[in-house]
Amino acid sequence: MELSSPVRYVKGVGEVRERALLRLGVRTVEDLLFLFPRRYEDRRCITPLSALIEGAFASVVAEVVSFENRPAHRKGLSIASVLLSDGRDTVSAVWFNKPHIGDMLIPGARVALYGKVERWGGLQLSNPEFEVLDESDPESVGRIVPVYPATAGLSPKWVRRIVFSALDIYLPEVRDYLPEETVRKYGFPELHDSVMEMHKPQGRESWLKARNRLAFGEFFLLQAGLLLRKRHRISARNVSGPMKAGEKFDAFLKSLPFRLTGAQERVIREIASDLASEAPMSRLLQGDVGSGKTAAAVAALVIAVDSGFQAAFMVPTEILAQQHFFRLKTFLENLGIHVELLTGSLSRPARRQALDAIASGGAGVVVGTHAIFGEKVVFDRLGLVVIDEQHRFGVMQKNALMSKTLSPHVLVMTATPIPRALTLSIYGDLDVSLLDELPPGRKPVKTHHMRTSQSGELMRFISDKAKKGRQIYWICPLIEESEQLDLSAAYSRFLDLKERLPDLRVRLIHGQLPSDEKEAVMSSFEGGEVDLLVATSIVEVGVDVPNATVMVIEDAAHFGVAQLHQLRGRVGRGEEESHCVLLTGKSTPEGAARIEAVLSTSDGFKIAEMDLKQRGPGEICGVRQHGVTDFRVANLARDRKLMERARQEAAELAAKDPGLRNARPLAEALMSKLGATLELAGIA
């Protein structure tokens, strides 16, 4: 039996419970050892029943006197209640719709309960968690008791028992992958002790030490993986050799219709210096919506072409591909650079023609969706890939892409500011440039919160803006379950708005429209022939129409904060004052908090931090399924310092011992835990 053996072989588990454990993320014997309690109950200090305080949470131990289950007033509901006694006082505990707990709460049983104290006539514990105590089980009384996550078919108590017995047998076999030196340097407790402390804490302080040590370990492992991958990539020679800005680049700078911001100049220098080196660039360019990332990217494209290479510019949607294509075309063709568009929906002849131009090298720059990396696409001399709105593609696609195309220079851009801790953990192998300055003269977008019931007022506002020649976006609710529903909601909103605003030219755009129609709608909006554009959240990324100054987001509480921020970023791109109207009906407390967050600031990074706290890393970057940020202990939103230190340590190690010759346990842990995710094969 090994640590990596499936958990079903642990005595007492078996196949049925294995399935339940899988739901808790436990696959192997080792996972079981690292399945930590979700909270602890301090049963050293039990509240006597006489000391219960209304409104507070309390942990009590008492004996069951009687049990009863009766129907509630409302049909279909039942109330189970037990009378409890601690020898001096009595109190009741009640649960809704749990008729069967009477099977466990038999008179005479001693029970530990944890829950909220409320007053209904007398004091009672409402819906408490409980555990029937087994006096012969010393783990359950008189100490700090771990409460494990439960799932259908597994009680927390069963989980505790199985984890404890696994600890006795298997913990000694767990090897520490943190280098001894690091453990000493930080005065970390020993690994086995730390794991033990998590399960059976002695006290607050020792628990915290153990917890931080384990969190550090998790960060360290990921950082080591990312940094080694980076070293590996750098040491691979890039396809092109050094690139150098030339005539076209000078012409590009001269032809810009505006002065570059200081941040743009700095970023372009950073990119140019990467391109001038032997090693392939892998750089992440972060900049809030509207910070002018495109200009920086175009500078890179031009340098590549100047150096005799082709460059690809990849974006997540067709609309965006078309928009960028038209923009770049007029601009770059003046510099003598031929631009091709490649998306999945090109007609056959158009596609044939594009592929030929790409293969012959006639196309200097190719703009497109991921179709750019289709199998049939062969570049003559691809030297640079720019990926716009990277967060829309997902992390792993980026990796696949980088390995497929023989190490060209890669620049990825994202408009969703990513909290630093998260950047380091999912893009930890990239260099980061920051566009932290908006072009001059931008007025901040005024953000308003309106109720659905105020729609009359909103209609007046919209038609007033339209009369003044401004354009308006109206984003329809996001109905996640089905694109079809999204669509029908958008369609009926479109009809409704047309009727209510008869003087306005109203158009509808959504993802399922054929692409030439999408293109037609978008270009008439850009051309000012549409006043009000009703859209599904399709316009979220990248679209740039400076004359559009009003963004209405219907059912705004359903969107994530980062998404709201992105949508708001579609306006405020011109000289005129812009408005973003967040329209809500009834919303959940979380929804209201999101609205509040977006109203409170227009700083994308602040918003990103809030997003990380509210939704967690997996939701933000769509990385959940890849496991990169599936930490058992570490918390990206809170452990940022720990993460930075772990990264520092990992960097030192990667520099000193890139082959991990003196860190075998680390190399093994990397392979077994992150090998597949990070494609580390052959690196460590």
> With CB cut-offs between 5 and 8 Å by kind, which of Mg ion, ligand ADP, none does residue 287 bind?
ligand ADP
Between residues 212 and 261, which has the closer beta carbon with respect to ligand ADP? Answer: 261
Virtual CA dihedral for 508, 511, 515, 518, nearest 10 degrees?
20
Q: Which of Mg ion, ligand ADP, none binds 439 (CB below 5-8 Å, type-dependent)?
A: ligand ADP
**Shortest separation between residue 320's beta carbon and Mg ion, angstroms:** 8
How far apart are CB 518 and Mg ion at their closest, in Å?
18
Residue 113 has which token pair? Answer: 């309960």
The entry of Mg ion, ligand ADP, none that residue 544 binds, CB within 5 to 8 Å by partner kind: ligand ADP
Q: How far is the CB of 292 from Mg ion (least distance, A)?
A: 8
Of the pair 41, 389, the CB lying nearest Mg ion is at 389
Partner from Mg ion, ligand ADP, none contacting 425, C-beta within 5 to 8 A by type: none
The span from the CA of 340 to the CA of 122, in Å, is 77
Alpha helices in 307-418 (DSSP H): 318-333, 348-360, 395-404
- The residue among 96 and 258 lying less far from ligand ADP, judged by its C-beta, is 258
H or E stretch including 306?
A: helix 293-306
Shortest distance (Å) from residue 295 CB to ligand ADP: 5
Q: Which is nearer to ligand ADP, 57 or 258 (CB)?
A: 258
Q: Using CB distances below 5 to 8 A depending on partner kind, what does residue 260 bind out of Mg ion, ligand ADP, none?
A: ligand ADP
Could you count the other beta carbons within 10 Å of the beta carbon of residue 411? Answer: 29
Looking at beta carbons only, is 201 or 542 nearer to Mg ion?
Answer: 542
Subset of residues 525 to 544 that bind Mg ion, contact rule: CB under 5 A: 542
445 contacts 607 by C-beta, under 8 angstroms: no
By beta-carbon proximity to ligand ADP, the closer residue of 194 and 261 is 261
Q: How far is the CB of 260 from ligand ADP (least distance, A)?
A: 5
State yes or no: residue 569 binds Mg ion (CB under 5 A): no
- Measured between alpha carbons, how far is 656 from 663 in angstroms, rounded to an integer? 11
Rg value, the chain, Cα: 30
Cα separation, 56 vs 35, in Å, equals 29
User: Which residue type is seen at 11?
Assistant: K
Q: Which does 289 bind (CB under 5 to 8 A by kind): Mg ion, ligand ADP, none?
A: ligand ADP
Residue with smaller CB distance to Mg ion, 388 or 555: 388
Tell me how far apart the alpha carbons of residues 619 and 608 are, in angstroms, rounded to a whole number. Answer: 12
In the complex, minimum distance from the CB of residue 441 to ligand ADP, in angstroms, rounded to a whole number: 7
Closer to ligand ADP by CB, 546 or 618: give it. 546
151 DSSP assignment: B
As a whole number of angstroms, the distance between CA 219 and CA 637 comes to: 13
For Mg ion, give the closer residue by CB, 156 or 542.
542
Judged by CB under 5 A, the chain residues 250 through 289 that form the site for Mg ion are: none
Select 393 or 461, whichever has its Cβ closest to ligand ADP.
393
Residue 141 DSSP symbol = S
Residues near ligand ADP, by CB under 6 A: 258-261, 264, 287, 289-295, 415, 439, 544, 546, 573
Which of ligand ADP, Mg ion, none does 295 bind, CB closer than 5 to 8 A by kind? ligand ADP
Q: How far apart are CA 96 and CA 70, in angstroms?
A: 10
Per partner kind, with CB cut-offs from 5 to 8 A, the member of Mg ion, ligand ADP, none near residue 390 is none
Which of the choices Mg ion, ligand ADP, none does residue 323 contact, using the CB cut-off of 5 to 8 A by kind?
A: none
Tokens (6 digits) for 356 = 């030929």
Q: How far is the CB of 418 from ligand ADP (least distance, A)?
A: 14
H/E element, 438: none
Total chain residues near Mg ion (CB under 5 A): 1
Least spacing, CB of residue 439 vs Mg ion, in Å:
13
CA distance 224 to 131: 42
* Smallest distance, ligand ADP to C-beta of residue 329, A: 15
Helix axes 262-275, 293-306, angle to 10 degrees: 30
Least spacing, CB of residue 518 vs ligand ADP, in Å: 19
| Residue that is written with structure tokens 């996550």 in the block | 149
Whole-angstrom distance, CA of residue 682 vs CA of residue 452: 57
Which strands make up the sheet holding 548-553, listed edge to edge?
A: 446-451, 579-584, 548-553, 471-475, 532-535, 506-509
Rounded CA separation 149/204 (Å): 20
Give me the residues that bind Mg ion (CB under 5 A), please: 542
